[in-house]
Amino acid sequence: MRVAENVEMLELAAMGTAIYLTLAWDKENLVLFDTGLPGQAGDIVKGIAAAGFTAKGITHIILTHQDIDHVGCALDLLKLAPGAKVLAHADEAPYIDGRKTPVKLAAMLANYESLPVDAKAWCDKMRAGFANNKIHIDQTLADGEIINICGGFEVIHTPGHTPGHICLLLKESGILVGGDAVNIANGQLTGPNPQLAFDAGLAARSFDKIEKLGIRAVISYHCGYLQIKGQVG
């Protein structure tokens, strides 16, 4: 779905529902925001092709955070685009590159013996997924930093869902790539699910920060696209 002149939202089936990746471009760059679950590289390649590009043309992969449904295909895509740079917040990098155990996996492992059978199965799947997807971060990001490609992206540090979660404000279009820091319900922008947050209070404060940005529209990773009422596209 084309949501701006140089921004495409890619919809992928996942976990019985959908996830929504973002693709942005200019004459020299092709940027993918987040990379789906392990095993979805083929679907991502098809989505990029449908937008008029090839996966080998990816120049940058920006990861909003460490969760397996966001980092899962980064290594597969880097095999197709070996020159692409991977970017993430500095606080998130050690969890993505394997120096630290991802926070939600660590919490599950700490209580592994008391988990129900289905939760243990998911924990085991996550552990294997992360073990096979340790990703080198080429550039760490900080709050307020501007990435001067594709019309400019502003890094918005929105911790809570994970410690180093970021959103990216696409300056040219006014669209926020919201990752898991935002959801959409009944046509309204809502905050992240507190039950899935590393720190629910911090996640709520990050959502307050987002609401003050004056964004035109948002792409929520699990909910899709929303035009913000009162904002002119």
Question: Cα(65)–Cα(51) distance, rounded to whole angstroms?
Answer: 24
% of the chain beyond a pLDDT of 70: 98
Question: Cα(164)–Cα(81) distance, rounded to whole angstroms?
Answer: 25
Listed by start position, the domains of the chain span 2-227
Per-residue pLDDT reduced to its tens digit, 28-85: 999 999 999 999 999 999 999 999 999 999 999 999 999 999 999 999 999 999 999 9
Per-residue pLDDT averaged across 170-194, rounded? 96
Read off the pTM.
0.95
Residue 16, phi-psi category: left (phi > 0), alpha (psi -120 to 50), beta (remainder)? left
Per-residue pLDDT averaged across 152-169, rounded? 98
For position 54, what pLDDT does the model report?
98
If 0-12 CB within 10 Å is exposed, 13-18 middle and 19+ buried, where does residue 25 land?
buried
* Helix or strand run (H / E) with residue 184: strand 183-185
For position 231, what pLDDT does the model report?
53
pLDDT at 186 over 70: yes
Thinking of the domain 2-227, which architecture would CATH place it in? 4-Layer Sandwich (3.60)
Q: Which of 34-38, 39-43, 129-133, 203-207 shows the lowest per-residue confidence on average (mean pLDDT)?
A: 129-133
Per-residue pLDDT averaged across 144-151, rounded? 98
